[in-house]
Amino acid sequence: MKILITDDDPLILDSLAELLELEGFSPIKANNGQEAIHLWKNQKPDLVCLDIMMPVMDGYQVCKTIRKTDPHTPILFLSAKNQELDVIAGLDLGADDFIRKPFSAHEVLARIRSALRRAKPQHSHETLILKNLTIFPEQLRAERNNVSIDLTPREVNILSLLHEMANAPVSRDTLLDRCWGVNYFPDSRTLDQHISILRKKIQTKPHDPEIITTVRSIGYTFRT
């Protein structure tokens, strides 16, 4: 599988490429955002890894450009720019994960494998009804009052799991295992940030959610 990696630090770029090659992936290297866009269009990678601070075009711009026409390819940010606002900005643009530098080889490989496994929703092709929201898993979108809402594969997985376990509290560990993968390094902040962004997309009142309800000290639930 082809992995596009973009970083203006040649040492990081070469190290990541070597690591991916050892694991059987085919790395595609880009030194800046503009080159990343060119390679994404021509090479059609299975996954994209982006640094944020890069010359010509930063990682946020690259992510935004890709998501305009490609809602499916997993995008991971690998960045030292890792304040909460930076993470939220990346996820809000459609990234699937945010890996903070410095990271271990085991962590980045686990996150890449997890993102690839979940690049497509693993649930039923049937539509899901969550109160006044209809989810179309295969189309990666929801609909309310004839208004379409774009969703990422992970957001579809989260909603599908909550629908599957309706009226029961779903723990953070279960959500991370089922929607990120058992090899994912648990980070409740990452989950909570995804939930916050998802609520803003699908809830009419994100601060008074009716679809994704917080279960204190446990996780979340969908109450019918």
Could you read off the pLDDT tens digit of each residue along the chain, which spans 224 residues? Answer: 899 999 999 999 999 999 998 888 899 999 999 999 999 999 999 999 999 999 889 999 999 999 999 988 999 999 888 788 888 888 889 898 988 888 888 889 888 888 887 776 554 558 999 999 999 988 888 999 999 998 887 888 899 999 999 999 999 988 988 887 655 555 678 888 889 999 999 988 878 888 999 999 999 999 99
Rg, Å, the chain Cα set: 17
Q: DSSP 3-state assignment of 154?
A: helix
The CATH fold of domain 128-221: Arc Repressor Mutant, subunit A (1.10.10)
Q: Please give the pLDDT value at position 121.
A: 53
Rounded CA gap, 100 and 146, in Å? 39
Domain 2-117 in this protein, CATH class:
alpha beta
Six-digit token string for 112: 């890449």
CA dihedral over 69, 108, 201, 84, signed as positive or negative = negative
A 10 A CB-CB count for 88 gives 15
What is the domain partition of the chain in residue ranges? 2-117, 128-221
Contacts of 53 (CB under 8 A, 6+ apart): 8, 59, 79, 80, 81
Query: Are 2-117 and 128-221 the same fold in CATH?
Result: no
Q: Please give the pLDDT value at position 181.
A: 67
A 10 A CB-CB count for 8 gives 15
Q: Please give the pLDDT value at position 154.
A: 83
Rounded CA gap, 54 and 49, in Å? 13
